Amino acid sequence: MSALRTLAPIGTLNRIQYDRTADSRWDAVLDWDVGSASLRLGVEVKIGSLKTAPQRPAARPPLTPVLVAPFLPRAVRRELENQGWSYWDATGNTLIRSETPFVAIRLDGADKDPDPERRPPTKLRSLKGRAASEVIVGLLQNGGRASTIRDFAREHRLPLGTVSRVVSLLREENLLEPTGGGPIVLTDRLDVARRWADDYSFIKSFQARRYYSLNGPDLALSKIVDSDIPCAITGIRAAQNWLQGTQQAAGLPATETWLYVSDRAKVERIADLAVDARDGQIVVAECDFLDRERPRVSNGLPYVTPWRIVGDLLSAGGRPASVGEQVADDLIRRSP
């Protein structure tokens, strides 16, 4: 999209939109208005350098197939053009070609690969990262199933490569049902959540900070929720709220308030929070997933999705982990 924005003179209409609900055969579909032309681009992404041109998927007008890669050798570019592809590589080799409407853009980049030692992405060895947590939560929330990696990535607005690496790790560790290339099916959701918690941590993965508030945790939370800052509660407090719906008790008092926010610095100012690494009862983590994992609102307060509550508590160990398992058992009973 950044490259496309450079392909029109200053003052010329050049608007690009990413269609999140488009045909799943493509890694992305872009609607591009440039000058008086409106194009719909079906984008196929190849992470490594190519030796030959891949087969072009069937594409009906007005969709224009575009292959994107780090580098495309001259012979591959010629083959792509013969097959009806448009293309772009990171060195600037560009061909955008459409008959309806008529558009023809050709730019030259490098003739030699600037990174001949380029290797494919390394395999994932841990689930401790923030991105991996979104994949795991999404799989667990889906009832432990997904039709394909590409559809799952599109539905949850996650990078295809990240989803693929997490799924590969789960497969290597026998945490997926053998479906012969069919849908993705977790063997046991609680086992997967426990495996995730072995690497992941609410505190460490999100570098959460402890705070003290002169106003007390409840008033501080009220100020944060009433602000325009996206936020969601997790931990024991969130587990208690979830289990109340099934007339269960968490069996552990909520002595701390764990909170995800999109802007921690702004929250500090609004709620008058002071860092207290040892005794702080308000624990705040900054994240960017709240627009993808929609918070659940109960009694006017936002809570993270239930399986993230499970992961956050399991990763804490001890008695909080037992509450996490209680929530997981309830979730599994509700969606067998």
DSSP code string of 294-331 = PPEEETTEEE--HHHHHHHHHHH-HHHHHHHHHHHHHH
Q: Which is it for the CA torsion 291, 66, 149, 199, positive or negative? A: negative
Q: Please indicate whether residue 221 or residue 120 has the higher confidence score (pLDDT).
A: 221
Is residue 306 included in any domain, yes or no? yes
**Residues found in the chain:** 336
The reported pLDDT for the residue numbered 61 is: 66
Mean pLDDT of all residues in 322-334: 94
The reported pLDDT for the residue numbered 107 is: 93
DSSP assignment of 173-211: TT-B---TTS-EEBS-HHHHHHHHHHH--HHHHTT-EEE
On whether both 183 and 210 belong to a single domain, the answer is no
The reported pLDDT for the residue numbered 59 is: 66
Is residue 123 included in any domain, yes or no? no
Is residue 121 included in any domain, yes or no? no
The reported pLDDT for the residue numbered 56 is: 80
- Picking from 164, 199, 234, the residue at the C-terminal end of a domain is 199
On whether both 265 and 314 belong to a single domain, the answer is yes
- Picking from 107, 138, 154, the residue at the C-terminal end of a domain is 107
Domain count, the chain: 3
Is residue 231 included in any domain, yes or no? yes
Is residue 308 included in any domain, yes or no? yes
Is residue 117 included in any domain, yes or no? no
On whether both 218 and 303 belong to a single domain, the answer is yes
On whether both 273 and 189 belong to a single domain, the answer is no
On whether both 209 and 243 belong to a single domain, the answer is yes
Laid out side by side, the sheet with 103-107 consists of 14-19, 28-34, 37-45, 63-69, 86-89, 94-98, 103-107
The reported pLDDT for the residue numbered 88 is: 94
Is residue 97 included in any domain, yes or no? yes
Tokens of residue 79, six digits: 């083959």
On whether both 192 and 163 belong to a single domain, the answer is yes
On whether both 217 and 282 belong to a single domain, the answer is yes
On whether both 53 and 143 belong to a single domain, the answer is no
The reported pLDDT for the residue numbered 140 is: 96
pTM to 2 decimal places: 0.68
- Picking from 177, 199, 221, the residue at the C-terminal end of a domain is 199
Provide the residue range defining the domain that includes 273: 202-334
Quick check: helix, strand or coil at residue 99? coil
Mean pLDDT of the chain: 90
Q: Which amino acid is residue 125, in one-letter code?
A: R
Tokens of residue 304, six digits: 């993270």
On whether both 207 and 303 belong to a single domain, the answer is yes
Indicate whether 192 pLDDT > 70: yes
Is residue 120 included in any domain, yes or no? no
CATH number, domain at 172? 1.10.10.10
- Express each pLDDT in 122-173 by its tens digit: 678 899 999 999 999 999 999 888 888 989 998 998 888 899 999 999 999 9
- Express each pLDDT in 52-94 by its tens digit: 888 887 766 678 999 999 999 999 999 999 999 999 999 999 9
Quick check: helix, strand or coil at residue 212? strand
On whether both 177 and 290 belong to a single domain, the answer is no
How far apart, in whole angstroms, are the C-alpha atoms of residue 172 and residue 93? Answer: 37
The reported pLDDT for the residue numbered 220 is: 94
Q: Please indicate whether residue 122 or residue 28 has the higher confidence score (pLDDT).
A: 28
Q: Which phi-psi region, left, alpha or beta, contains residue 46 (left: φ > 0; alpha: ψ -120 to 50)?
A: beta
Mean pLDDT of all residues in 192-219: 93
How far apart, in whole angstroms, are the C-alpha atoms of residue 165 and residue 162? Answer: 5
The reported pLDDT for the residue numbered 36 is: 87
Q: Which is it for the CA torsion 224, 227, 232, 237, positive or negative? A: positive
Tokens of residue 114, six digits: 């600037």
On whether both 41 and 65 belong to a single domain, the answer is yes
With cut-offs at 50, 70 and 90, classify the pLDDT of residue 290.
Answer: very high
> Is 231 exposed, middle or buried (CB count within 10 Å of its CB: 0-12, 13-18, 19+)?
buried
The reported pLDDT for the residue numbered 269 is: 94
How many CA atoms are closer than 13 Å to the CA of 50, on its beta-carbon side?
A: 26
On whether both 232 and 329 belong to a single domain, the answer is yes
The reported pLDDT for the residue numbered 336 is: 59
Q: In the chain, pLDDT over 90 holds for what percent of residues?
A: 61
